[in-house]
Structure 1
Amino acid sequence: MSNSLIKKIVKPLLFIATLVAMFGAANLSSDSASASNRSYDSVLKTAKKHLGARYVWGATGPSRFDCSGFTKYVYKKSIKKSIPRTAQAQYNHTKHVTKSNIKKGDLVYFGGSKHSIYHVGMYIGNGKMIDSQNRGVVVEKVYAPWWHVVGFSRPANLSY
């Protein structure tokens, strides 16, 4: 093969390979960036959309929820993240975080202990959460006199 023939074939192939690498990388990073940029906004929007929905024990939505049915529904519908069905299972199978590291979108658990969890809500900042309880889906303080906080978890890494 002559040198000129190699230059005619190899140069265009290298150019095409470079373009594919550049545009492929750009598409991957923009896809992941757009997915992460919408994550917390999407979770919060989905949760707020159901404010006022009735509480029904064992209900998983979309118009009636119990506490863990609500958090499961919100994560699945907003960011396609599947989490376990019950509050105790959600705590047991998600990444635990400390009170000082809690972020918006994390879950807050209530009960007698970390082994006896009976309620879960989603932290939305400023000491508040959205949860489904006897008054339905509401925004309320995490540290209300009727709740005993026993732990926190992060079902997904969200961007803000």
Structure 2
Amino acid sequence: MAILPLQMQALYRKLRTMQRLALTLLALLLAACATPSHSPERASGGDTNEVALYAMSLADTPYRYGGNSAENGFDCSGFVQHVYLNTLGMKLPRTSHEMSQVGVNLETGQLRPGDLVFFNTRKKPFSHVGIYVGEERFVHSPSSGRAIMVTSMREDYWRSRYNGARRVTSAN
């Protein structure tokens, strides 16, 4: 039975997504091995790496406005809220703007896997949020018609809309 061209395209996209995810996971694991596993200002390195790994495991979950579950899809803040609740047991505020008020403000050079990164995507500061995974990349639920993905913060679109980052720990 021959695979139809559309099925081949879908299979190719799925393989490319899996390849990007595998490379990102490898980069994250290498970064985790190269950095100390403890810091007085944050949860343990293992906890925050778990946040980043779990977030990436949800790749290909579809975007859904107002969504907050893996079964039905996520919007950006629903995704972040879900990840933090299911990895660290932390209940974050529901909106990206509210999330931008919790935790500790960070400079770009201080970013570690698991930190929250914010962007101005609707001509409104802090209107989009994602989870930093290392190597100037973040995982997020981007927009309608798309799915959770890992994206480079170096891309012009994201670099020009970057609003800042926060580190959220159970101590905050």
Structure 2-normalised TM-score?
0.65
User: Which residue in 1 is equivalent to 2:114?
Assistant: 105
Structure 1 residues without counterparts, runs of 5 or longer = 1-34
From 162, 166, 170, the counterpart of 1:149: 162
From 74, 80, 88, the counterpart of 1:71: 80
Indicate how the Cα distance of structure 1 residues 37 and 94 shifts in structure 2: closer, same or farther if over 3 A, else same.
closer
Amino acid paired to 1:126: E
User: Which structure 1 residue ranges, 4+ long, deviate > 2 Å from structure 2?
Assistant: 35-38
Indicate how the Cα distance of structure 1 residues 117 and 41 shifts in structure 2: closer, same or farther if over 3 A, else same.
closer
What are the superposed Cα offsets for residues 60-79 of structure 1, whole Å, 9 maximum, x if unpaired?
11231001111111010011
Is residue 49–residue 114 contact of structure 2 (8 Å, CA) maintained in 1? no
Distance (Å, rounded) in 2 between the aligned partners of 1:37 and 1:126: 16
Distance (Å, rounded) in 2 between the aligned partners of 1:37 and 1:61: 26
User: Which residue in 1 is equivalent to 2:142?
Assistant: 133
State whether structure 2 residue 67 is matched by structure 1 residue 62. no
What are the superposed Cα offsets for residues 42-63 of structure 1, whole Å, 9 maximum, x if unpaired?
2123212210000011111123
Larger-gyration structure (1/2): 1
Indicate how the Cα distance of structure 1 residues 123 and 37 shifts in structure 2: closer, same or farther if over 3 A, else same.
closer
Structure 1 counterpart SS, 2:67: coil
Give the CA RMSD over aligned residues. Answer: 2.1
Higher strand content, 1 or 2: 1
Q: How many residues align?
A: 122
Indicate how the Cα distance of structure 1 residues 96 and 47 shifts in structure 2: closer, same or farther if over 3 A, else same.
same
From 47, 50, 56, the counterpart of 1:42: 50
User: Which residue in 1 is equivalent to 2:129?
Assistant: 120
